[in-house]
Amino acid sequence: MTRFPAEWEKQSAVLIAWPHHTGDFSNRLESVEQSYRFIAETIAGHERLLIVCQDGDHQQHIQNLLGDNTGNIVFIHAEVNDIWVRDTVFLTVENNGKANLCNFCFNGWGEKYPHHNDNALNQKLLSAIPFQGLPHTDIDFILEGGSIESDGIDTLMTTRQCLLNPNRNKGLSQHGIEQRLQQHLGATRILWLDQDNLSGDDTDAHIDTLARFCPADTIAYTSCDDAQDPHYAGLKNMEAQLQAFRTRTNEAYQLIPLPMPTTPLFDEAGQQLPANYANFLIINGAVMVPVYGDPNDNIALQRLETCFPAHKIIATPCRPLVHQYGSLHCMTMQFPAGALHF
């Protein structure tokens, strides 16, 4: 029996890839690294943190930034094209109770960006101590971690705009993709949303910017009540679809609306950035919630607190990150308890 564990289950570690002065964040690296420092120190205070960095010099730079807060951190040297490891690093499943690392293919979100190093990252991770000798499966199927949500039992939630996009697995029908998701992730139910991406999101509508299980009978989702907002009609349509979804016991899901920031964020070229609160990260004992210095930050924190009463809710500064069209969940990947060895 195959099962794709939920994010709120006990974890062994979280992995991130640290930005570099030659990467996409080079024009705002200092502010991005301040967010990374906060994120790294927070995660390392709750569980093991794996940091992918370029080389020894890059590692020393990161250690200098973190100071004495590296005792729970493991550094791994590898080249990456992008730091959005949610979409490039192994997805961990359980096969008959034992962890198995699934190495899906990655094609730069539909051939939009260079991705050779990102697609090769998992093979490099296998030579690092936490991964050495672990069971893994190389899978000839394009799938990004941010494009699927698991309830930890038998249900996945995703968008047709991403998984059925011909720029991923051309030639596979919805039925064919569902068969792959059942085969590799153990999903017997797929909740399909029809929903376009948020402005500035270049992933073709990843689910982790739109709707999240928290926990299995509850869905927190990006909402909009401003009829003048260009997202209004689309997100109201998504809300209606979520209201129609049913749990495996044929009950409606409890729905928790997460507002968008009151003031949209834009980059220097005038492109709206996909700032949202659904891109939160669950770690051992805490939920890290992206915040943007906006009045709606507190509303999102309060609403997610109702979803996770046993967790500490941690406001996590992510305004610099959205300038490369992702946020907190996009830059992290968790591994379930027992999946890695140290």
| pLDDT per residue as tens digits for the range 307-323 | 999 999 999 999 999 99
Beta bridge partners of 190: 156
Decide: 279 and 212 in contact? Cβ < 8 Å. no
Residues 6 or more apart in contact with residue 317 via CB below 8 angstroms: 34, 35, 38, 291, 293
Q: What is the CATH number of the domain that holds 264?
A: 3.75.10.10
In a domain? residue 276: yes
Residues 6 or more apart in contact with residue 139 via CB below 8 angstroms: 102, 103, 104, 105, 184
| Number of compact structural domains in the chain | 1
Cα→Cα distances 268→5, 265, 271, 276, 318, Å: 39, 10, 7, 19, 17
| pLDDT per residue as tens digits for the range 18-54 | 999 887 787 889 999 999 999 999 999 999 999 999 9
In a domain? residue 341: no
In a domain? residue 82: yes
**Residue that is written with structure tokens 């640290």 in the block:** 18
* Whole-number pLDDT of residue 131: 97
In a domain? residue 78: yes
In a domain? residue 188: yes
pTM of the model: 0.97
The parent domain of residue 243 ranges over 2-336
Residue pLDDT tens, the chain, 342 long:
999 999 999 999 999 999 998 877 878 899 999 999 999 999 999 999 999 999 999 999 999 999 987 889 999 999 999 999 999 999 999 999 899 999 999 999 999 999 999 999 999 999 999 999 999 999 999 999 999 999 999 999 999 999 999 999 999 999 999 999 999 999 999 999 999 999 999 999 999 999 999 999 999 999 999 999 999 999 999 999 999 999 999 999 999 999 999 999 998 889 899 999 999 999 999 999 999 999 999 999 999 999 999 999 999 999 999 999 999 999 999 999 999 988
3-state secondary structure the chain: CEECCCCCCCEEEEEEECCCCCCCCHHHHHHHHHHHHHHHHHHHCCCEEEEEECCHHHHHHHHHHHCCCCCCEEEEECCCCCCCHHHCCCEEEEECCEEEEEEEECCHHHHCCCCHHHHHHHHHHCCCCCCCCCCEEEEEEECCHHHCEECCCCEEEEEHHHHCCCCCCCCCCHHHHHHHHHHHHCCCEEEEECCCCCCCCCCCCCHHHCEEECCCCEEEEEECCCCCCCCHHHHHHHHHHHHHCECCCCCECEEEEEECCCCCCECCCCCECCCCCCCCEEECCEEEEEECCCCHHHHHHHHHHHHCCCCEEEEEECCCHHHHCCCCHHHCEEEECCCCCC
- HSE-up (13 A, CA, CB side) for residue 156: 26
In a domain? residue 204: yes
In a domain? residue 263: yes
